Homo-oligomer: A and B are copies of this chain.
Amino acid sequence: MLNFDFYAPARILFGKDEEKRIGDLLKPHSKKALLHYGGGSIKKSGLYGTVTASLKKSGIDFVELSGVKPNPRLSLVRTGIELCKKEKVDLILAVGGGSVIDSAKAIAMGVYYNGDIWEVYETHKTIEKALPVATILTIPAAGSESSGDTVITNEEKRLKIGYGSARLRPLLSVMNPELFFTLPKEQLAYGVADMMSHVFERYFTNTTHTDLTDGLCEATLKTLMKNALLAHKNTRDYDAWSELGFAGTVAHNGLVGMGRAQDWACHGMEHELSAIYDVAHGAGLAILTPGWMRYVYKDNVNMFVQFAVNVMGVEGSYRDPDAVIQEGIARLRDFFGKMGLPGTLSGLGIGEDRLEEMAKKSTGEAFGREQPIGGLKKLYWRDVLEIYNLVK
């Protein structure tokens, strides 16, 4: 086990009706909030009315900024920063999924950052201060409700870059599984692929002696797969959505990756797809992950046998580890297929013409500063291109 620093202070308020007390929850922390959200779905569902009524009842003044899109845009972040400064906002309440929360975090640090906030994403410099962010989660997927991470897309530069800081951990997050009932089945599938990837990126490691986190990862993955199929069958299954929502937070609050070298190559490779083709992050991950596994598993056969046996339930001869691993990967691919996720880049409408460009961007080769990605196996741009080609 490696040394680690674990800090996950976000308070999670979980269950039916929790969103109704958002005003009371925020009252000790805010006089004037920015209410940040996407489009009309929270108005249609009635959530907007519930939240604004609760804020008003608790005497919290607020201004609004809507219009967050998937792969949240830098331009809207800049608008939000100006708005918060002008209106002297002291807290941001993000009502939505990971895109809304990531956008809120970018605004939260932008308010105090002296310069253009994109610099922080590009240079990964340390920030000293950010507004507190609270969230009401409407899509379990990104884990942004407990993490200190944010990913923003610079639509002019066609770049999608992540940034993380303990100062961006939300103050509190409300999670009512009933709010997930109206999600389209694609969103469920994308979300599950993303949550599973958050575990995979931590799980697949060359670090040894990681019993506890191995077990936590495996429990989280099995919970996600079992309950994804249940929610896919019945989109109003409260218990299934409960497991998915809670598992999504555990997947990305840091815990299951403590003390282990992490990977993150699949996220890196996927960000390039999203940046150029604006595809759903989860769909990209579901395609890339099995391809990545096939490409890298020989570098740590034991780890992948463990995955096949403990997570995918393969019962096989350990004297033939390749067969066990291939069966594990096939079962994972099969699971994604049952969730309705595409298996190839072409199934996502991505052709072959820009694969090399994306591969070169993913490692920095395109900018003349190649750094391999991936913890379990170092991937250079030619490796990334091979993986893209494996799943094209």
Contacts and interface: CB of A to CB of B under 8 A. Distances in A.
Contacts of A258: 12, 14, 246
Give the one of A6, A8, A243 with max B CB within 10 A: A6
A100 B314 CA distance: 47
Contacts of A2: 15
A208 B215 CA distance: 21
A209 B243 contact: yes
Contact of A218 (B219, B242, B259): B219
A315 to B, nearest CB: 13
Contacts of A247: 212
Contacts of A6: 11-12, 14
A66 B307 CA distance: 48
A222 to B, nearest CB: 6
A16 interface: yes
Interface string A305-328: 000000000000000000000000
Interface of A: 1-9, 11-16, 18, 208-209, 211-216, 218-220, 222-223, 226-227, 239, 242-243, 246-247, 250, 255, 258-259
Contacts of A223: 211-212, 215
A210 B124 CA distance: 39
Query: How many copies of the chain does the oligomer comprise?
Result: 2
B5 A11 contact: yes
A215 B220 contact: yes
Which 4 A-B pairs rank lowest in CB-CB distance, beginning with the nearest? A3-B15, A215-B219, A9-B9, A209-B239
14 contacts: A1-B239, A4-B12, A5-B14, A6-B11, A12-B258, A211-B222, A211-B227, A212-B247, A215-B219, A215-B223, A216-B219, A219-B219, A246-B258, A246-B259
Given A5-B14, A215-B220, 11 more contacts: A1-B246, A2-B15, A3-B15, A3-B18, A4-B15, A15-B259, A211-B226, A211-B243, A212-B247, A216-B220, A218-B219
A140 to B, nearest CB: 12
Contacts of A259: 14-15, 242, 246
Contacts of A222: 211, 215
Contacts of A16: 3
Nearest to A6: B12
Nearest to A241: B1
A212 B11 contact: no
Contacts of A220: 212, 215-216
B243 A1 contact: yes
A241 to B, nearest CB: 10
A246 to B, nearest CB: 5
Nearest to A146: B6
A14 B4 contact: yes
Nearest to A166: B11
A134 to B, nearest CB: 13
Nearest to A209: B239
Contacts of A216: 216, 219-220, 250
A85 B121 CA distance: 46
Nearest to A215: B219
Nearest to A11: B7
Contacts of A227: 211
A175 to B, nearest CB: 10
Contact of A1 (B9, B12, B212, B242): B242
